[in-house]
Amino acid sequence: MNTYTVRSLTPDELTTVPRLVASAFLADYAEEEIAAKDGALNADSTSLGAFVGDRQVGAVRVQERGVRVPGGDLVMFSGLTSVAVAPDYRRRGVLTALMRPVLARDSLAVSALWASESAIYGRFGYGVATESTQHTLPTKSAFRPGVTADPSAVRELPRDKAMPVIKTLYERYAEKQVGALTRIEGNWAYHYYDTEATRHGQTPYRFAVHPDGYAAYRGKPEWTDNGPRGTVHVHELVANTPEAYTSLWRYLLDIDLAATIEYEGSGDDPLVQLLPDTRTALRKRFHGLHIRLTDVAAALPLRGYQAPVDVVVEVVDSFCPWNAGRWHLVAADGRMTVAKTDSAADLTLDVRDLGAAYMGGTRLSTLAAAGLIAEHTTGAVAGLSHAMQAEREPACREVF
């Protein structure tokens, strides 16, 4: 078995990471783009490398960020990105070596990432905590009777004028939306990185701004024998009022020279409810933010609970063994206390599934129905599942 040295990267070593990432993601041609985009985060992140002698064979970037959780609190977490292993060192323990310091006992209680392959990170205890839905629908689609929309309140702004405005609008949104992430300047630069190479034949970002929301989108023109058949790709839509939501959507749907609009929203996005026939919007579901509870006892009290519950949960966790064992969970008045116990367990579950339920979107009852949770006391799963559920599905629309 190989022995790897894992340590923080020096500024000089950071310059080699984009090449490693490009190679691992089969995108060698994009090395310069990766370097330029990732560079916005260097000052606010810690990058670790795995080495065999002098050769770097693995890398991971960790940034501390905040996420809004059920109950309205902001929880700080370790955000992982730019995870890469050299192609000729795959399946030789490099990623495991990198994850050891990332998921150390003295790290933040919650870790999160977006996974290229969920199965990889499930082995380390990450569960799918949010999902996104890709909507594809024809432009000019009508709204159902009774929907009020005022597209005249929407204005197109150039990027330099739009960015200060949308940052303020996003902060209002992120104070209330479960799953929304905090953003500093580096995150904004990364999320809105825009070059010819990244556009794939589309326009630069355009910004449609309402007093209470905004939509950032690209257009992809296409001309056929039957006329214009362009596509509008919505990068991000934020609305702080129902009026802003309907007005922005009316504006987007009425864009000229486009036949189709594509948008990736939350699992319960209200877009389809605006339509007379919900089948007008074709929908595909994809995984989103993955959550890992590095410290179960510390993480569970950080969020709110919508119902009282009193259960003993046995947690299985081979990678962070301090989480393993039985925990007495008591939620009252929206808050939870957690204590180690020797009492018999009411249910047993893997830490991966506890992380999946942490944001209130994935139901423990659904995981139990799949045979992933063992219930020892009738009603225990339903009780904890109900307590952990959010009022609406969490929405994390920012890939990092």
Strand order, beta sheet including 131-138: 155-157, 206-210, 213-220, 230-239, 258-266, 131-138, 282-287
Closest CA to 77 of 248, 275, 284, 292: 292
Q: Packing angle between helix 17-24 and helix 31-38, nearest 10 degrees? A: 120
| 326 in a known ligand binding site | no
CA separation for the pair 133, 142 (Å, rounded): 21
Q: Encoding tokens for residue 132?
A: 């996104």
| 213 in a known ligand binding site | no
Q: Given pLDDT bands bounded at 50, 70 and 90, which one contains residue 42?
A: confident
pLDDT at 342: 97
CA separation for the pair 345, 58 (Å, rounded): 40
| 91 in a known ligand binding site | yes
| 84 in a known ligand binding site | yes
pLDDT at 112: 98
Q: What is the pLDDT of residues 142-164, one digit of tens each?
A: 999 999 999 999 999 999 999 99
Q: In the chain, pLDDT over 90 holds for what percent of residues?
A: 93
pLDDT at 46: 95
Ramachandran angles phi, psi of 24, nearest 5°: -65, -30
pLDDT at 134 exceeding the cut of 90: yes
pLDDT at 367: 98
CATH class held by domain 295-388: alpha beta
Active-site positions read 121, 400
Q: Encoding tokens for residue 267?
A: 């699992």
Burial class (CB in 10 A: 0-12, 13-18, 19+), 223: exposed
Residue found by looking up tokens 């339903």 in the block: 382
pLDDT at 54: 92
What does pTM read for this prediction? 0.94
Burial class (CB in 10 A: 0-12, 13-18, 19+), 219: middle
pLDDT at 20: 94
The reply to whether CATH 3.40.630.30 applies to domain 5-102 is: yes
Fold exhibited by the domain 132-285: Aminopeptidase (3.40.630)
pLDDT at 193 exceeding the cut of 90: yes
| 92 in a known ligand binding site | yes
For 353, the enclosing helix (H) or strand (E) is: helix 351-356
- Residues in contact with 18: Cβ distance below 8 Å, sequence separation at least 6, in sequence order: 31, 32, 34, 35, 38
Torsion of Cα atoms, 49 then 50 then 55 then 61, to 10°: -20
How far is residue 50 from each of residues 6, 56, 65, 205, measured CA to CA in Å? 4, 6, 24, 37
Chain mean position to CA 358: 13
| 85 in a known ligand binding site | yes
Give Rg (Cα) of the chain. Answer: 23
The answer to whether 5-102 and 132-285 have equal CATH topology is: yes
Mean pLDDT of 184-193: 96
Domain coordinates of the chain in residue numbers? Answer: 5-102, 132-285, 295-388
Mean pLDDT of 41-70: 95
Q: Given pLDDT bands bounded at 50, 70 and 90, which one contains residue 1?
A: low
Q: What is the pLDDT of residues 328-338, one digit of tens each?
A: 999 999 999 99
pLDDT at 2 exceeding the cut of 80: no
| 154 in a known ligand binding site | no
Q: What mean pLDDT is reported for the chain?
A: 96
Q: What is the pLDDT of residues 93-121, one digit of tens each?
A: 999 999 999 999 999 999 999 999 889 99
CA separation for the pair 238, 240 (Å, rounded): 7
pLDDT at 353 exceeding the cut of 80: yes
